[in-house]
Structure 1
Amino acid sequence: MKRLLPRTLRGQLIVLIIAALAVAQAITLWLFIDQRALAVRSALSLEAADRAGNLVRLLEDAPPALVPEILRAANSPLVQFSIANAPAVNHLNHAGPMHIVSRIRALLGADDKRAIRVELHQSAGPMPVMPGASPQMMRMHQEMNAGQMSAVELSLSIQLKDGRWLNMTSRFHDPPYQWVWSETATFALTAALLGLVLWLALGRLVRPLKRLAATADRIGRGEEAGPIGIGGPEEMQQLAAAFAEMQDRLARFVGERTRLLGALGHDLRSPLTALRVRAEMVDDDETRERIIASVAEMQEMVEATLAFARGMATAERVETVELSLFLGAIVDEFRDAGGEVALQGADTRLRLRPNAMRRALRNLIENALRYGKRARITTSVGKADVRITIDDDGPGIPEDSLERVFDPFVRLEGSRSRETGGTGLGLSIARTIVHAHGGEVTLGNRPEGGLRAEIRLPLGSGEGPRADATVGV
């Protein structure tokens, strides 16, 4: 079912409404055919009643010698008359359909009280062959009985003045429905006009939703979205106002926390500098060295805190970069410093903050080189995002700590302890920057050994794999 429906909201609504119109039209047509069959059946039964009533009057007024000829002339492949001493409809007190009885009595006279018996039912088999029928009549009889149309049989017995009965058996078929192409044309025209009106009307609803989605995408990437000018129905305007208010609140919340963190780290610099100066005045060498080492460690943490605050800021402008050139420049920096770094994979264009993303990638590559001796960077481009993986050959991270290491100031024991360097903010800064771009960064242990860091960044409008979509450095 999902494959039959269009992907867009506008298209799905139009298809569903036109489908509902088609179902309603089919039900109406079915009811019309049923009513038409009833009307035709009633008209045929009344015509047979008229024929029987007139035949009774003719037989009672004609000489007895002409009766066989009159009956033969009145017969047809679907209507057969006969005169017998007993009625063919032998149900006692059987009045039959009143409209047929009333029609016959109207032809015979209002004062006529003779017995009239009528039975109307579905046909169960072919009509019997008339005795003495001509060859032409026999062929017509066989052709009509060979048809597969639905048949209704009318049995009629009318008492004559001499006490005998005129029996009539008539079979008539529900005529097949002849498709009228004007009905198809009318439905097609109605569906086309309805689809056009719905397309134009729903556009007033869909366009604001598209603008809202584009704005949300820009905000998710950390770009300046600006005011949301959404018109349309009142509900859409309310949604846009609520979205804009949420955007302002989030911006204020993040801005306040970032400024608070930056101010705290900045204000700690002065007392730490004063402590270092006073530590130099301590006479005992061992005590002085310990105090200076502690102060240096605190200063390093303060600088890392300020760096973390800068990583949370979103003041840098978003630019479109070539992924291969962007990563190639970072790889060259590490190679110039003696690092063993390799780069391969697909190329594409990305919208990002170059300085912030460069810093996040550097943190991850530095971790790979520090704990795994070498780093292998691989890029792949999907339909909606680009993936950058950084593999190393280090000892990895315990499974229960893969998520915890992203918390600020978290440092694991062993190979990733403080002695190997770092303050525990590198991964936090990297994740903060990637989140600001609307992406995600995860860690995982490789089956063959080592750690894998994976960055997923969303592709924007018009971005995707290039024709020369491979890169290797």
Structure 2
Amino acid sequence: MRFAPQSLRLQIVSLVLVALVVAQGVTLVLLEDQRNLAVRAAIGDEATGRAVNVVRLIEKAPESLRGQIVSAANSPLVRFEIGSDPVVDHVSHDAKGAIEARMRALLDDDFSREIRAEMHKIDSSALPLPYLEPKMAEQHREMMRGQLLTVELQLSIALSGGDWLNVSTRFERPPFQWPQFATLSFGLSAGFIFLALFWYLLARVTGPLRLLSDAAEKLGPEQGGPVLATAGPREVRELIQAFNRMQDRIVRLVAERTRMLAAMGHDLRSPLTAMRVRSELVEDDETRDSLIASIEEMQHMVEETLLFARGLADAEPMQPCSLGVFLETLRQDMPEGFTLNHGSPVEVAQRSNAMRRALRNVIENAQTYGTEVEVSYAAERGFAVIRVCDRGPGIPEPELERVFDPFMRLEASRSRETGGHGLGLSIARSILRAHGGDIVLSNRPGGGLRATLTLPLEPRQG
């Protein structure tokens, strides 16, 4: 299957062409077999007709001329011989009865004369026939052209006076021929089928499927794409309609979730503000400070959760930008710097504000838990690849995927200054996947962590 065409259109065309070739081959084999049978029947009829004529001449001519008649009747493929004993030592039966019946009809003879027939296969070792003269043997060899002799028909016909006319006929297998009309028929059939499949049927099937694939790639949790027009066969139309319904359900589900969480966040702000005011009335300084810190952390958690639930996307459009320039601007804006290794120019399409948030989260995570933070970028296999590397403790292998779960923190304390809320990497992955990319973590040899972010090089419609 490695060399099979990957396109549905090419697969169907290839399958039809292969089926057509096989059907044409089977047809030619069957026609060749029928041709062989027809040739053998014609040769058999010709041999029996000659035998009948020879019998009539022998019985009407003087006995002194019989030898000359037999000698004149011989040919490279048919041999006549008069003898006292028949070559065929048994009476004809089954299929050989048809030969006997034909000869009796030509001789106007019912059952007064005994006629025997025998047919059997022989191989090419019989070439040339042993009883032929040298000149006739050469003619026989040229006639055969090296083909196998497949069938020998022997006849024994009783003559008046008690002698027998023995006839031996050799059938050659006709050489295989590829008729020109078959080639023309195959070419026309293949051309018409190819045009019908490629330009009509497959265009109606694969065209809508390609549009459906593009729409599925552009579909994100934060927004839906345009409603696809239903086209193509019934099954394809049903698939497009199902996709449109799914897209509508996803958009409505996300919108309802966002509205619900926004309402909850709004409702939570009022009691949190009231708790903050009342905590100021607490006389004990230690208790008051602890309450205020807890309330502020709850407020930050509410804001972060709302931002994550909205999918971190608004109406910001996709814009082309130079990745190197974008990362250099981000490096200058961040309080703590990092090393940026410039590579070849890479052009991507992105939502700048969302990507800035995602990269900031990943780089700040590296700065918090590691040292010697380095950022590099390159174009690899159709994607822009950004690598954020640090030197530090890294992450245990079983936890490399779990750290992307919301509120998942490996740092044991609950302090925002030391570990945040565990939403940074979740937000970063959501942004990258909304762009058609992803983020993967891996440990570096010698200690440290490597975050690999990918973005499609091809522009994506926002």
Tell me how far 1:164 sits from its aligned partner.
Answer: 1.0
Tell me how far 1:416 sits from its aligned partner.
Answer: 9.6
Distance 1:345 1:448 in 2: 24
Tell me how many residue pairs correspond in the alignment: 458
The answer to whether residue 391 in structure 2 is matched with residue 393 in structure 1 is yes
* Residue in structure 1 matched with residue 86 of structure 2 by the alignment: 87
* Residue in structure 1 matched with residue 291 of structure 2 by the alignment: 291
Is contact 1:386-1:459 (8 Å) kept?
A: yes
Between stretches 270-279 and 392-401, larger displacement belongs to 270-279
Residue type of the partner of 1:383? Answer: R
* Residue in structure 1 matched with residue 130 of structure 2 by the alignment: 129
Structure 1: 5+ residue runs without aligned partners?
464-473
Tell me how far 1:146 sits from its aligned partner.
Answer: 7.1
Cα RMSD over matched residues? 2.5
* Distance change in 2, residues 1:141/1:150 (3 Å): closer
The answer to whether residue 173 in structure 2 is matched with residue 180 in structure 1 is no
Counting aligned pairs with the same residue, the percent is 49
* Residue in structure 2 matched with residue 468 of structure 1 by the alignment: none
Tell me how far 1:252 sits from its aligned partner.
Answer: 1.2
Listed one character per residue, the Cα deviations across residues 298-336 of structure 1 (whole Å, up to 9, x for unaligned) are 2332332233245444432222222222222212323xx
Distance 1:437 1:215 in 2: 14
* Distance change in 2, residues 1:75/1:421 (3 Å): closer
Distance 1:128 1:369 in 2: 99
* Distance change in 2, residues 1:138/1:249 (3 Å): closer
Is contact 1:444-1:452 (8 Å) kept?
A: yes
Residue type of the partner of 1:38? Answer: L
Tell me how far 1:242 sits from its aligned partner.
Answer: 1.0
* Distance change in 2, residues 1:147/1:407 (3 Å): closer
Residue type of the partner of 2:199? Answer: L
Listed one character per residue, the Cα deviations across residues 317-365 of structure 1 (whole Å, up to 9, x for unaligned) are 222222222222212323xx34233234454332321111110110000
The answer to whether residue 42 in structure 2 is matched with residue 50 in structure 1 is no
Is contact 1:411-1:417 (8 Å) kept?
A: no
* Distance change in 2, residues 1:377/1:318 (3 Å): same
TM-score, normalising length: structure 1 = 0.89
Q: What secondary structure is seen at the aligned counterpart in 2 of 1:107?
A: helix
Residue type of the partner of 1:294? Answer: S
The answer to whether residue 327 in structure 2 is matched with residue 327 in structure 1 is yes
Q: What secondary structure is seen at the aligned counterpart in 1 of 2:270?
A: helix
Which of 364, 387, 409 is equivalent to 2:407? 409
Tell me how far 1:385 sits from its aligned partner.
Answer: 3.1
Distance 1:147 1:228 in 2: 68
Distance 1:268 1:117 in 2: 114
Distance 2:176 2:129 in 1: 27
* Distance change in 2, residues 1:20/1:462 (3 Å): farther
Tell me how far 1:239 sits from its aligned partner.
Answer: 1.4
* Residue in structure 1 matched with residue 346 of structure 2 by the alignment: 348
* Residue in structure 2 matched with residue 470 of structure 1 by the alignment: none
Larger RCO of the pair (alpha carbons < 8 Å, separation 6+) = 1
* Residue in structure 2 matched with residue 170 of structure 1 by the alignment: 169
* Residue in structure 2 matched with residue 240 of structure 1 by the alignment: 240
* Residue in structure 2 matched with residue 467 of structure 1 by the alignment: none
Distance 1:198 1:169 in 2: 56
* Residue in structure 1 matched with residue 160 of structure 2 by the alignment: 161
* Residue in structure 2 matched with residue 119 of structure 1 by the alignment: 118
Which of 425, 428, 432 is equivalent to 1:427? 425
* Distance change in 2, residues 1:386/1:221 (3 Å): farther
The answer to whether residue 285 in structure 2 is matched with residue 267 in structure 1 is no
* Residue in structure 1 matched with residue 151 of structure 2 by the alignment: 152
* Residue in structure 2 matched with residue 212 of structure 1 by the alignment: 212
* Residue in structure 1 matched with residue 197 of structure 2 by the alignment: 198
Distance 1:417 1:121 in 2: 102
Tell me how far 1:71 sits from its aligned partner.
Answer: 1.0
Tell me how far 1:421 sits from its aligned partner.
Answer: 4.3
